[in-house]
Structure 1
Amino acid sequence: MAMTALIIDDEPLARQELEYLLEKAGDVEVLAQGSNGIEAVELIREHKPDVVFLDVQMPGLDGFAVLKKLIGKVARLPQVVFATAYDQYAVRAFEVNAVDYLLKPFDRARVEQTVEKARGRVAAEAAAAAQAPSDPNSAKLDALMKLLEEQAQQAAVPARASSKVVVRAQSRLLLVDQKHICFAAIDEGQISIVTQNVEGTSNCRTLEELMDQLNPEIFWRAHRSYVVNIHHIREVVPWFKSSYQLRMDDRQQTEIPVSRAQTKRLKELFNL
């Protein structure tokens, strides 16, 4: 039997992309889509899905406010998978609380992994409800409330990322100030870091791991394969089909694509 799902995101392209990837994952039936938190509450009450793919930042009610509205108001809470474009602190809170997340732009393998995790949790919840039908949601309520509390605490704590990043260049380990980094890129599992004067590699295995070291106020995941320092963007170049590229101020004036899911964030950053 297919696992039922809702997709709630204020970006139509993000919804389309996620629906496509869920279809590829198999055995997932998307019952409906919503574009804001108010719709999310109504759709969850109406459809009672197994899992909700819920954007964090939305007009009206954000993802956390949706949960607060639902707790105690529905007989059965769905599994919740959060989607986020750039909130690194929330991502860490989700991991600690064992509530899954998807980082935009979506990665097919990560979506498939999340679907399997959600499917396992749906099955485990059904088994637990059969053994203790009087309160099947107790553990989930506790976990979600803890998630909300820790997320709020994370938001109140200022970023304390180190100002230096280790870059390996010609057998040397250089300590590079973050403000000098133009961008980082991943290709075949290796992360390159580029400044105006230095090009080298990082010991990090993923861009998510590198992002944990960087200041989220100035570093932005413009594309699945690129993280850029917004202060080193020299030019925003309109591209085909309403897409954009970023021309950086490194020596090569590297052009970096902006993914469809990040176009909205680009426009917010520069008031396009």
Structure 2
Amino acid sequence: MILTCIAVDDEPLALGLIGGFIEQTPFLQLLGKYSSGIAAMKELPELKPDVIFLDIQMPDLSGMELTRWLSQSPNLAPAVIFTTAFNHFALEGYKVNALDYLLKPFSYEEFLRAANKALNWREMLGAGEAGKIKDDPDEFLFLKSEYQLVKVMFRDILYVEGLKDYAKVHFSTGEKSLLSLITLKLLEQRLPARQFMRVHRSFIISLDKIKSVTRNTIQIGDIHIAVGEQYKDSFNRFLSRWM
């Protein structure tokens, strides 16, 4: 698999170094180098690269601003690998769904590790798309957690807990819960409605994992979850089919 790439950095030496690293990596193809975020933004709709190696602090349009623009462009979904001299941007990079974060000055070994992460990310996406064509489209999804995409099988989900801008997935298999930067509302849209239901502003449950139901609560696994007032009608309609 070949990943198409662009490099964006307002420092000529850094831009040349990243471009050289891309060109010496067999599975990367360099489409262009840009010294400003605005120049890159103009070319992105036509180029549609798989990966962007992106500086954060630039005078006209910062890397963070360009990444936020990308998130609002449905036809563009490149992996973003930030390259910066400042380590205090790491948390903000995570919040905008950057795939990785390279702290300048970085070696080719560090660059290659980030590039391999992008390759694995692309291969997982390809496997997910192939699976959706070949198998049941409601078997799994990929969630980003700690700079990687994690395959989550629907059958293994016990319930999902909303924590502001994050969702915490709890599993029936006993494995460690997974924290992903995705809102509960967006995750609700991605989960199949025949298997999952939102019963509280902070909880989505797996319907086949329900152990018992009282007037206002649901037991799922070893915990009890209250049914929110605005969700009672839809949950009662679900129950009525089995009573």
**TM-score normalised to structure 2 length:** 0.51
Q: Say which SS state the counterpart of residue 118 (structure 1) adopts.
A: helix
What letter is aligned with 1:55?
A: D
Q: Distance in 2 between matches of 1:61 and 1:132?
A: 37
Residue 20 of structure 1 and its aligned partner are, at CA, apart by: 1.4
- Identify the residue that residue 121 of structure 1 maps to in structure 2: 121
Q: Distance in 2 between matches of 1:103 and 1:89?
A: 10
Number of equivalent positions: 141
- Identify the residue that residue 40 of structure 1 maps to in structure 2: 40
Residue 24 of structure 1 and its aligned partner are, at CA, apart by: 2.6
- In 2 relative to 1, CA 123–115 (structure 1 residues): closer, same or farther, beyond 3 Å? same
What letter is aligned with 1:16?
A: G
1:164-175 alignment, distance < 5 Å:
none
Q: Distance in 2 between matches of 1:33 and 1:98?
A: 19
CA contact 2:81–2:98 (8 Å) conserved in 1: no
**Which protein has greater RCO, CA pairs closer than 8 Å, 6+ apart?**
1
Pair 1:91 & 2:90 matched: yes
How far does the alpha carbon of each residue in 1:206-262 deviate from its partner, in whole angstroms, 9 at most, with x for none? xxxxxxxxxxxxxxxxxxxxxxxxxxxxxxxxxxxxxxxxxxxxxxxxxxxxxxxxx
What letter is aligned with 1:27?
A: F
Pair 1:80 & 2:80 matched: yes
CA contact 1:9–1:35 (8 Å) conserved in 2: yes
1:196-207 alignment, distance < 5 Å:
none
Q: Say which SS state the counterpart of residue 82 (structure 1) adopts.
A: strand
Q: CA RMSD in A?
A: 2.9
Residue 138 of structure 1 and its aligned partner are, at CA, apart by: 8.9
Residue 98 of structure 1 and its aligned partner are, at CA, apart by: 6.6
1:118-267 alignment, distance < 5 Å:
118-132=118-132
Pair 1:69 & 2:84 matched: no
- Identify the residue that residue 8 of structure 1 maps to in structure 2: 8
Pair 1:25 & 2:59 matched: no
Residue 95 of structure 1 and its aligned partner are, at CA, apart by: 6.0
Residue 126 of structure 1 and its aligned partner are, at CA, apart by: 2.0
Residue 93 of structure 1 and its aligned partner are, at CA, apart by: 4.6
Q: Say which SS state the counterpart of residue 61 (structure 2) adopts.
A: coil
Q: Say which SS state the counterpart of residue 25 (structure 1) adopts.
A: coil
How far does the alpha carbon of each residue in 1:153-209 deviate from its partner, in whole angstroms, 9 at most, with x for none? xxxxxxxxxxxxxxxxxxxxxxxxxxxxxxxxxxxxxxxxxxxxxxxxxxxxxxxxx
What letter is aligned with 1:26?
A: P
- In 2 relative to 1, CA 138–35 (structure 1 residues): closer, same or farther, beyond 3 Å? farther
- In 2 relative to 1, CA 98–47 (structure 1 residues): closer, same or farther, beyond 3 Å? closer
- In 2 relative to 1, CA 91–12 (structure 1 residues): closer, same or farther, beyond 3 Å? same
CA contact 1:45–1:74 (8 Å) conserved in 2: no
Residue 132 of structure 1 and its aligned partner are, at CA, apart by: 4.7
Residue 26 of structure 1 and its aligned partner are, at CA, apart by: 2.1
Q: Say which SS state the counterpart of residue 21 (structure 1) adopts.
A: helix
- In 2 relative to 1, CA 129–40 (structure 1 residues): closer, same or farther, beyond 3 Å? farther
**TM-score normalised to structure 1 length:** 0.46
Q: Say which SS state the counterpart of residue 60 (structure 2) adopts.
A: coil
- In 2 relative to 1, CA 16–38 (structure 1 residues): closer, same or farther, beyond 3 Å? same
Identity of aligned residues (%): 33
- In 2 relative to 1, CA 77–28 (structure 1 residues): closer, same or farther, beyond 3 Å? same
Which structure: larger Rg?
2
CA contact 2:5–2:53 (8 Å) conserved in 1: yes
- Identify the residue that residue 216 of structure 2 maps to in structure 1: none
- Identify the residue that residue 110 of structure 2 maps to in structure 1: 110
Q: Say which SS state the counterpart of residue 123 (structure 1) adopts.
A: helix
How far does the alpha carbon of each residue in 1:102-160 deviate from its partner, in whole angstroms, 9 at most, with x for none? 111121110010111110001112222344589xx9957xx9xx69xx9xxxxxxxxxx
